[in-house]
Amino acid sequence: QEVTNHEESLSGASLLASALKNQGVEYMFGVVGIPVIEIAGAAQAEGIKYIGMRNEQAACYAASAVGYLTGRPGVCLVVSGPGLLHALGGMANAMSNCWPVLVIGGSSDVDQESMGAFQEFPQCSADTGPSSGINHCLGATLVGPSADMLPCESAQITTKVEAARPYSKYSARPSSVGEIPFFVEKAVRTSIYGRPGACYLDLPGNMITEKVAACKARKICCSPPPPKCLADPVAVDKAVQVLSEASKPLAIIGKGAAYAHAEKPLQEFVERCKLPFLPTPMGKGVISDEHPLCVAAARSRALSQADVIIVFGARLNWILHFGRPPRFRADVKIIQIDLHAEEMNNNVHAEVMLWGDLKRVAEQLRDAVERKFGIDPANLCGLPSWKKELKEKSDTNKQNNEELANETSVPMNYYQVYGQLTKHLPHDCVVVNEGANTMDIGRTMIPNHLPRNRLFTKVMFSDHVNKSTITVDGKTIEEADSYVYFEKTLTRDGDLLPEIRRRTALGWAAFRKVGNIMRSHKASMKMKRKIHDEYILPVMTYGLDAGTFGTMGVGTGFAIAAALLAECQAKDKNRPRRVVCVQGDSAFGFSGMELETACSAPPTALLPKARYERIIEAFGGKGFFAETPHELKTALESAFVETGKKRKPVLINVMISPYADRKPQLMLVIGHALITTLK
Ligand code: ADP
C-alpha cells in the first residue's frame, strides 16, 4: 500500500508489537532469523521482554510457562519452516496442559508461495472451501481481501494455517497489515478464554515489512481477563449433600485449581469439611503438603478406597488412572468441577457436575457447607476411622522415605539426593522437576507449601528464628521472608495448625507472634492488611513439571521463564525468588544447550566467547579453541589426527569477528546492475 510522506506509517512488525503490548503481552521467547528479526526488535521497542533461545521448542515451553504462571500468554517467536516445526512440540505440550501461549511464525512472502521459497512450509495453504477442524481458520490471502473487509467476510478466501492447526485452538494469518491488531486480540483472547491453550498467528515476510498508514490500522481494545462463571446452585447443594453422606470422602486438587488461583476458598472449604485431600503433581501446593488433611503420602490407599471423590480441576486421565478400577472403586461417586463442559463425564460417570470457574465454585461450596451445616461442622465428611487409616498409612510411607533419605550408600539413591536438597531450598523458591524417577520421587520428597510452586522446606525456620523481630504499627517486620511460608500454616483465627507447631520447634515462636498480631486488636487494620498482603499472602509462586503430555525436556525452558518472572516480579530487586530445576539426565539432554540462554546477559544475544569445545570434552571427545589463524591451523592438524588414529570426535570452536560479513555481491539484472549486500 502506498503511503504518502505526511502520514504516519507503521510496518507490520511494529503494528504487531504494539498490538501485543496492548493485549497485555509482556514476554517473548524465540529464535530470530529471516523474516522475523524486525518483530523481535519492534517488540523490544514496545517494552516487551525478548529472550533469545537456542531452540524454538524450548522457547515455546518457556512462553507457555509464562502463560500458566501469569494468566496472560507468553509469545513464542519463530521463523518459517523449521522454526515453526520445532515450536509445534511446545504448542502440543501447552494444549495438553491447557496453558495459554501465542506462537507467532514468519513465513515465506505470499508472492513466492508454491515456488519452493526459502523454508517454505504448509503453515498456510490456499483453500477456497469452508474452514474445517476444531479451530477457526480465518484470514486470507494470496491476493488478500480489501483492507476494509472484515476478516469474517474474507472467509470465502480462506487460508488454512495447516501445520499449526492440530496443535492449537486457533490459527490464522491476518488478512492484511491493517488487520493485525484484530487477529492479535482474537488470538490472545482465545488462548485464555474457556479452556486455555495454544494459538498461532502466521506472518508472511512481506506483511512484516509492509507499511500501512496509521489511520488504516484497526483499533482494538485490550481483551479483559476471562469471565468467571458460577456453577448451578442446585448442583452445588447436591454436591454438598453427596459429600455429607460419604463414609470415605476425598478431594483431588489439580493444576486447574492452581491456574484458577483457587487456593483460599479451596483451603477454607477443605478445612470446613475436614476433608482429606491429595494433589495431582501440579496441584501440589494449592494447599500445603504439610497440611494435616493432606494424604498425598497415602495416595494409592486414598484413591482405591474413597467412596466419594470431589475433583477440583483435574482430568480423570492417565495421571489419575482414568478414575477406574483397580485404582478406584467401581462404585465411586465423582463430583467434578471444571470450566470445560466437555470434560464432564469423561471416562467415568459424574454424580454431580459443577461447571464453572474453580475459584468461584470453591467459594460456592464453602458457603453452601456453612449454610447447611454451620461454620464448624463436627466431622462433616466421613468416618473418623477413614481419616485415621489414611493418617497411619501416610506416616508409615513418610517414614520409609526418610529412612531411604538417611542412607549413606554410594552411589546414592534418589531419596538421599532429595533429602539433602530440601534442606537447602530457600522456602519460597520455584521448583521445576522433570524426568522419570527423578520426577516421581521428587513429587514425594519435595513438600510444597505454595500454590503453583513445587516446594518447601522445614529448615527455613531455624535459618531465621534468631534474627526474626516482629513489631506492629509503624515499625518494620524484619526477616519478612520467614513469614511467607506461614500463609498456609495459620488457621483462620491466626493460630498455628498443630502439625506445623510440632514441625517447627525452633521457629514457631516467631510465627506465633505473627498469629497473635493477626488475632489481637493491637494492630491497626492497615497493618494487618500489610502483614497479610506482604508476608502471609505470598506473591505468585509456582511449580512445574513434565505435565499432562509427559514431555521430557521442558524443564530448562520452564526454569528460564520462572527465573525471568522472578526477576521482573521481585519486590526486592536484590532478592528475586530462586528457581531450582531438578532434571533426570535424559530430560536435561533435550534442551541442554538452553544453559547458554540461562547464562546469557543480555538474554537477547548468544555468549560472545562461549567455550563450546568444553562440552565435547565432558563427554570424552576432544575440543580445540582457536582465535588466530595459527591456532586454527594447529587445531585442524591435530583434529585430523584425533579423528583418524584415535577415532575421537572433535570440536573446534573458532572465534569470528562480530563485524565479519559476507562480501558484497554483484547481481546483474537485465538492463542495469544492482549491487547489494546479502546478510
Ligand atoms: P492435573 O494435571 O493436575 O491432573 P489437568 O491438566 O488434567 O490437571 O486438568 C486441569 C483441568 O482444569 C482441565 O480440565 C481444565 O479444563 C480445568 N481448568 C483450568 N482452568 C480452570 C478454571 N479456572 N476453573 C475450572 N477449571 C479449570
Ligand 1 centroid from CA 153, angstroms = 35
Ligand 1 centroid from CA 278, angstroms = 15
- Number of C-beta neighbours around residue 375 at 10 A: 8
C-alpha cell, 186 = 482474537
C-alpha cell, 247 = 463414609
pLDDT of residue 50: 95
Contact criterion met (CB below 8 Å) for 114 and 199:
no
**226 CA: nearest ligand 1 atom:** 23
pLDDT of residue 464: 33
Pocket probe for ligand 1: among 68, 284, 315, 448, the residue whose CB has the most ligand atoms within 8 Å is: 315
Q: Which residues, listed in sequence order, are joined to residue 667 by a DSSP beta bridge?
A: 674
Minimum CA distance residue for ligand 1 atom 9: 314
Ligand 1 centroid from CA 409, angstroms = 41
d(C-alpha 157, C-alpha 145), whole Å:
8
Closest listed residue to residue 343, CA positions, set 88, 551, 548, 60: 548
d(C-alpha 159, C-alpha 33), whole Å:
24
Interface confidence, given as ipTM, is 0.96
pLDDT in tens, 478-528: 333 333 334 334 443 444 444 333 333 333 444 445 555 555 555 555 555
Pocket probe for ligand 1: among 96, 311, 358, the residue whose CB has the most ligand atoms within 8 Å is: 358
Q: What is the mean pLDDT of each run of 10 residues along the chain (679 residues)?
A: 64 97 97 93 96 96 95 96 95 97 92 80 54 36 36 42 90 95 98 98 95 93 95 98 96 95 92 93 84 91 97 96 97 98 97 98 96 79 90 90 89 90 76 85 73 30 34 39 38 41 38 52 54 40 75 93 88 78 92 92 70 94 95 94 86 89 63 34
pLDDT of residue 527: 56
Closest listed residue to residue 195, CA positions, set 330, 342, 50, 306: 342
Minimum CA distance residue for ligand 1 atom 23: 260
pLDDT of residue 449: 57
Contact criterion met (CB below 8 Å) for 511 and 484:
no
**Exposure b/e, 47-64, CB count within 10 A at least 16 = b:** ebbbbbbbbbbbbbbbbb
H/E element, 138: none
**96 CA: nearest ligand 1 atom:** 6
Map residue 157 onto helix, strand or coil. helix
pLDDT of residue 578: 85
Ligand 1 centroid from CA 184, angstroms = 25
pLDDT of residue 135: 41
Q: Find the residues whose C-beta lies inside 6 A of ligand 1.
A: 97-98, 195, 254-256, 259-260, 280, 282-283, 313-315, 317, 319, 338-340, 343, 357-358, 548
Whole-model pTM? 0.81
Ligand 1 centroid from CA 258, angstroms = 8
**282 CA: nearest ligand 1 atom:** 3
pLDDT of residue 422: 81
The one-letter amino acid at 393: K
First to last CA, the chain: 26
Pocket probe for ligand 1: among 99, 322, 334, 340, the residue whose CB has the most ligand atoms within 8 Å is: 340
Q: What is the 3-state secondary structure (H, E, C) of 482-551?
A: HHHHHHHCECCCCCECHHHHHHCCCCHHHHHHHHHHHHCCCCCHHHHHHHHHHHHCCCCCCEEECCCCCC
H/E element, 104: strand 101-107
Contact criterion met (CB below 8 Å) for 73 and 199:
yes
Backbone φ and ψ of 199, nearest 5°: -130, 155
Ligand 1 centroid from CA 486, angstroms = 27
Minimum CA distance residue for ligand 1 atom 3: 254
pLDDT in tens, 308-337: 999 999 999 999 999 999 999 999 999 999
Ligand 1 centroid from CA 453, angstroms = 16
